[in-house]
Amino acid sequence: MKITDIKIRKFFEEGPMKAIVSVTIDDALAVHDIKVIYARDRYFIVMPSRKNPDGTYRDIVHPINAGFRAELESAVIDAYNVQLVAIEEDAEHLSTTAMI
């Protein structure tokens, strides 16, 4: 399986959740609502889940093995960081342009 697209759908400045992401696999399967979390001095992802009647949460979709989980997590966090830098550069450019 190959990750063919990653879209950062929403960014958050406050709290541990930093983004909500959609991932496309093999140009054939989309997984929405993957969360990028920053806690305990590191980034990680949380897969989409639903709340059970007993109050616990259960993943709706998840990687079956550690190798693909690591690949997915790395790709999502890399895409998040690339988009974050682009947003910061755009904001810096806009503030510089506004001063001219």
Distances, alpha carbon 29 to alpha carbons 6, 20, 66, in Å? 12, 17, 20
Per-residue pLDDT of the chain (100 residues; tens, 9 = 90+): 899 999 999 999 999 999 999 999 999 999 999 999 999 999 999 999 999 999 999 999 999 999 999 999 999 999 999 999 998 887 776 666 655 5
DSSP state of 27: T
Residue 45 exposed, middle or buried by CB count within 10 Å (0-12, 13-18, 19+): buried
What is the residue extent of each domain of the chain? 3-99
- The class that CATH gives domain 3-99 is alpha beta
Q: What is the pTM of this model?
A: 0.86
* Strand partners for 19: 11, 36
